[in-house]
Chains A and B, each alone.
Chain A
């Protein structure tokens, strides 16, 4: 069945209101977060180590439930969405992990095609799209290579390509330049900006100040569980 996505451009992709989160009986990791992720926006999520960036990304990816507060994604209150519908919502979000999370027994091509495969699409229907995207991220010659053979930068690009293959409405990237040298970091950043120009909202979690200085973009700074936003 075709996915019907209605887009009201005024409605943000994601809306947080007084969101708080604590693990177990511990202190609140995130406190009173209220913000929007507008469509087609580009932002950095930053803060010191342990500030809760990864936790916030997990909230954004529906992988964690808030202890309190309201989260709306794609104009729906997530607390009222049945669990069975979560995979469908996750398909509208692309995520890139710091540790890539590529499957070592699948080739670069198969890893990138994985999201389409789990959607039940025939290989013949997506082969050209995957090949084109791999060329775009500079992995056109590494199609049949297994991840253990890829360099850090190649793995990162493969992980990004996997997150982008089904044209998500928002891309979340956790320390996407954490494992690469500065020139590669610059190339990856250009990739994200190009993607943003094509209409995808981008959230990059990083504590790399030099990376952020390269782009004039919204900054969301997490500190001691609170969020400050600099437009």
Chain B
């Protein structure tokens, strides 16, 4: 007589996985969104930082004894003597007036107001000049000059990017913790519903690791499906947002969104990150299920074998 193919010791139907799969999918989706969001903010902050650090500004305050035009030219020439500078532009009166127009209105006569003037010096990002030496030389030659290397802004951007990363990491830790707890409850529920199987395995000499392996197979399958669905949904969301952004370029809404969040594209590293999150969630779920099963079996064994414990498992 032929024997049917051997069935699983713990049947799939005995592990109610649909609700758990949904929870894992939602957690995975949130984790992937967080990761993508953090990487977008970091990329935007980096692009801002790079734009800011490509140039420095020399500001010259007006003074009764100062020939402003000459001072501007001297400052530019002095700055260009330093290696690492690639060009210098004096912001002329018309451009300065345009800069001040939002605050002071049109038709401004700069001669009547003590308005500082600017020289914008572009620098080589990879080989920046010695700012301290330039600042010293400028102050010695033109006491009214002030060199702004935009360090304050760069520092703030770096701080903002770090804070965003920290918040993102915190959210990821919370999401993973919630998921681990959910899996612990689900595993305990599955064990409770399959107590008769665990008992029989115990009596036929199964080790806790064997029983754990039987249960963890199911949880690995459930978590792979859930995390895969959540990750795929997140990847689709980013792809759709990126597509929407590329299709609506130069509209006020898109400009606003781009200014705030940068581009929605997360690049191949972002998609790799999503894949990594799926793998991490699957491993975390499987490991949690395994440890929970082994711990629960140990507890059952301990209580069952202790005649002093009449609370449960005695039978």
Contacts and interface: CB of A to CB of B under 8 A. Distances in A.
B304 interface: yes
Contacts of A141: 1
A90 B199 CA distance: 13
B203 interface: yes
Given A23-B314, A65-B306, A101-B196, A118 B6 contact: no
A101 B7 contact: no
A144 B4 contact: yes
A88 B304 contact: no
Contact of B203 (A84, A90, A113): A90
Contacts of A120: 210
A67 B307 contact: yes
A63 interface: yes
Contacts, number: 92
Given A22-B307, A64-B304, A117-B9, A101 B206 contact: no
B205 A119 contact: yes
A211 interface: no
Contacts of A97: 203
A122 B229 CA distance: 35
B306 A114 contact: no
Interface of A is mostly: loop
B70 to A, nearest CB: 89
B38 to A, nearest CB: 44
Contacts of B314: 23
A198 to B, nearest CB: 20
Contacts of B205: 87-88, 90-91, 115, 118-119, 166
Interface residues on A, range: 35 or more
Contacts of B206: 87, 118
B104 interface: no
Interface of B is mostly: loop
B197 interface: yes
Contact of A144 (B1, B203, B308): B1
B305 interface: yes
Interface string A143-177: 11000000000000000001000100000000000
B165 to A, nearest CB: 43
Interface in B293-310: 298, 301-302, 304-310
Interface in A125-151: 127, 131, 140-141, 143-144
Given A144-B3, A166-B205, 7 more contacts: A21-B307, A24-B307, A61-B203, A67-B308, A87-B207, A107-B7, A114-B9
Interface of B: 1-4, 6-7, 9, 11, 14, 196-197, 199-207, 210, 298, 301-302, 304-310, 314
Interface of A: 21-24, 26, 61-67, 83-84, 86-88, 90-91, 95, 97, 101-103, 105-107, 109-110, 113-115, 117-120, 123, 127, 131, 140-141, 143-144, 162, 166
A-B pairs with lowest CB-CB distance, top 6:
A91-B205, A24-B310, A118-B206, A115-B204, A90-B205, A87-B207
